[in-house]
Copies of this chain bind each other. A is one copy, B any other.
């Protein structure tokens, strides 16, 4: 056979995303993706660089989708209202796109994969802007953003793994946790005014 199935990079990513979000990132094997697309596994190598290439594409795609999600979550909001909205949006993203969420956990070094690194940095920049707009100096903002990222990531990761035990009151726990960090951010903003 010559060329036949109209496989595009987009269709590969789409198929892989569907599998990863449904059955987990590890289920998005080259074999599974190829099956889904109706081609043989080696044919995928015409489009990407093996499994690591697929993971990379998922990470870029996921980062872009997360960025869009954050942008919509912020909308016209500012300050703590924007942060609250981002937190909720992040949680919803992690629930709806488990595979994509997991795909951008292994962070690349800035110099070894610039495109991926920048894609993953975009959502962080967006949040950073919110803090800077609140008047928090960069030297403080960097710590607070890391705290917020850590809390969100840790919560969503534990939640996905059912690491909290009884799922009772998890929504409330999330709100409490987010408010703790936002409280700290608010305090930093207040003392910078």
Contacts and interface: CB of A to CB of B under 8 A. Distances in A.
Interface of A: 105-107, 109-110, 121, 142-144, 146-147, 149-155, 157-158, 161-165, 169-170, 172-173, 176-177, 180-181, 183-184
B161 A105 contact: yes
Contacts of A121: 165
Nearest to A149: B158
- How many chain copies does the complex carry? 2
Given A146-B158, A180-B181, 6 more contacts: A105-B161, A143-B177, A146-B176, A149-B163, A153-B158, A176-B184
A143 B143 CA distance: 23
A144 B151 CA distance: 12
15 contacts: A105-B161, A107-B165, A110-B165, A142-B169, A143-B172, A143-B176, A146-B158, A146-B177, A147-B177, A149-B154, A152-B154, A153-B154, A153-B157, A154-B154, A157-B157
B146 A150 contact: no
A106 B184 CA distance: 31
Given A143-B169, A143-B177, A184-B183, A158 B162 contact: no
Contacts of A184: 176, 180, 183
A110 B168 CA distance: 14
